[in-house]
Structure 1
Amino acid sequence: MRALLTFTYLQALSCIFPVIIFGALALSKFVSIPVIPRYDFILLLCLITQVAMILTKLETIDELKVICVFHLIGLALELFKVHMGSWSYPEEGYSKIYGVPLYSGFMYASVASYICQSWRRLDLQITGWPYPLFSFGICVLIYLNFFIHHYLFDARWILILLLFPIFYKTVVHYTINERVYKMPILLSFLLIGFFIWIAENITTFLGAWQYPNQEVSWSLVHIGKISSWFLLVIISIIIVAQLKRIKSHQDEIFTHTKHL
């Protein structure tokens, strides 16, 4: 029970950025903000939060750099998806570019913030990590599929099948109260993706964005979206892992699997 409480506390600390975004969405939905449009208000709160987290040392400069990378990756995806009509941001705002409010990049950045902080607080170690050719290769293919499937076919299930020979030996080790626990990394991908799907239902209810089937009234986000978040989490963790590896110039947080 003590380990569960400690784990919950550390996870809560790691989720500060996402929780503040939820708070901004809820506040701006149910309370009228004078003068400033809702999307701009959320962007302002995100910027203030980011500065505050650095000043209070809840986040490190290196983690900020990672978060900025995710902001750009997420914004590029948002611009394309909104252009293709996958979802929309129907409200007005000064900080919208081609129909996409700039705060949307922070929603992706908040996932990166959670991963970075959780990694640090739980002292993550990974065994059986695949060689960069495989891990980075599947990362690129997954990201490209988010774009290409609009023109060709959706290869997500092929990519998911490829994950098993690549990551089936990969295990995450995390420490709670000086005791080490472990979990297959594919299971951790799925669990994080599932909880993001739950968060997505909350954020669409609060009007963060809108799927075509939610234009008349809100409805539950299709459960199939878990697979999209599952793949996005994989991209996120692979990028964070590779950046940590480049930063350290050594494999102290990884040991490689010898074969696929």
Structure 2
Amino acid sequence: MYKYTIEFIIFGLKQANACFFGIFILSISIISNVWYPLESIHRYDFIFLAAIVFQIFLLISKFETLKEFLVIMTFHIVATVMEIFKTSDAIGSWVYPEEYIFGVGNVPLFTGFMYSAVGSYITRAWKIFDLKFGYYPKTIYTVLLVTAIYINFFSHHFFYDIRWFLVAATVLMFAKTKVYFKIIRDYRNMPLLLGWFLVALFIWLAENIATYVNIWIYPNQKDGWQLVSFGKLSSWYLLMILSFVLVSLFNNTKGAINKGVLSRL
């Protein structure tokens, strides 16, 4: 029992380490909503500049390598393009209600760092937990899947929304896939699909906090905050897979697994 308690504590500390960037973005969003004394700069612009400084700190302090930074920036750009489309006047999926100078269209530039936080978490967790995989699909299949996911984020506004078919496709493709992660010495494992769902659930909880502190709001929240729909979990789940596959293109998903030394979760 003592061993598992220690492992649980170490697991939590490693998760916090992997979430370093996300914790910073969420914390500064909450604090600046409660107390923001600066009149010379908009709150959104302050978050943007603070995120840049923090990203530089991560690179200088070696918390992130240049390779990891490039991976995260790739996801940053992919997500920002989607943001510009989703917040356009013609679509209006959500809005950023406060003023800003640093922005493109209806999107303040700090938003890209919120998505970067997801990419940063995956990249850091991959390294911190020494992730390995069993029965991971061929790269070409995963790339085709996430390409369809990304296109559907745009096309469902004009054509049929196939997100549930895509969710079903992920289940079929990754049904046998397990992720192996090392906490101290032994490897533990869980279905990769379960891991994605748990991370998506955590992001959904963070999204509720973000909308509450006026980082962005959905149309039904204009007259007062409401809990974000559980239906958004499917979007975060698919976006989680998209970001994971992007990161996987720069990492080894075939990590040879000696099942004789791996412990079961």
> Is structure 2 residue 83 aligned with structure 1 residue 78?
yes
Of residues 217, 222, 230 in structure 1, which corresponds to 2:229? 222
How far is the alpha carbon of 1:27 from its aligned partner?
Answer: 2.0
> Is structure 2 residue 13 aligned with structure 1 residue 21?
no
TM-score relative to the length of structure 2: 0.92
1:224, 1:69 → 2: CA distance? 27
1:77, 1:6 → 2: CA distance? 36
> Is structure 2 residue 243 aligned with structure 1 residue 241?
no
Of residues 10, 15, 24 in structure 2, which corresponds to 1:11? 15
1:148 alignment counterpart: 155
2:263 alignment counterpart: none
Deviations 1:101-139 (A, max 9, x none): 000000000000011111100000011110122111101
How far is the alpha carbon of 1:164 from its aligned partner?
Answer: 2.1
Runs of 4+ off more than 4 Å = none
Structure 1: runs of 5 or more not aligned: 246-250, 256-260
User: How many residues are aligned here?
Assistant: 250
1:98 alignment counterpart: 105
Task: Please say if residues 122 and 244 of structure 2, whose CA atoms lie closer than 8 Å, have aligned partners that are also in contact.
Answer: yes
1:248 alignment counterpart: none
> Is structure 2 residue 117 aligned with structure 1 residue 110?
yes
Task: Please say if residues 128 and 254 of structure 1, whose CA atoms lie closer than 8 Å, have aligned partners that are also in contact.
Answer: no
TM-score relative to the length of structure 1: 0.94
Deviations 1:136-164 (A, max 9, x none): 11010001100000000110000111112
Once superposed, what is the RMSD of the aligned Cα atoms? 1.2
Of residues 186, 189, 196 in structure 2, which corresponds to 1:179? 186
Alignment of 1:110-149 (within 5 A): 110-149=117-156
Distance 1:220 1:89, change over 3 A: same
2:191, 2:31 → 1: CA distance? 38
How far is the alpha carbon of 1:191 from its aligned partner?
Answer: 0.6
